[in-house]
Amino acid sequence: MSENTSDQNIIYIGRKPVMSYVLAVITYFNTPDAKEVVLKARGRAITTAVDVAEITRRRFMDKIKVTKIDIGTEEMTGEDERTRAVSTMEITLSV
């Protein structure tokens, strides 16, 4: 879990199976004084982030709430040196 929730309780959502992120969220909220975690995703992983929030809340921890959702855009430079914009999302879960 340390690799996923290092600085400021952030879990970066990528291409792993949804349940591995759900497990990371549950593990985090089972540590003492855990109050809030932020799921960060971009591009196609945005859908996964929403799935993680919904599955955790509905199936495992009905006490947690979605307290904030932000969307944004990041400029990324690909291997061909061209920059392209990718959408980002941050979902804050709190107890």
Which has the closest alpha carbon to 73: 91, 61, 85? 85
Produce one character per residue of 9-36: b if its CB has 16 or more CB atoms within 10 Å, e if not: bebbbbeeebeebbbbbeebbeeeeeee
Could you give the string, one character per residue 41-70, with x where binding to its own copies holds by CB under 8 A and - elsewhere? --xx-xx--xx-xxx--x-------x--xx
Span from 1-9, 25-33, 76-84, 86-94 in contact with its own copies (CB under 8 A): 86-94
Q: Is 31 in the site for its own copies (CB under 8 A)?
A: no
Q: Which residues bind its own copies (CB under 8 A)?
A: 43-44, 46-47, 50-51, 53-55, 58, 66, 69-73, 85, 87, 89, 91
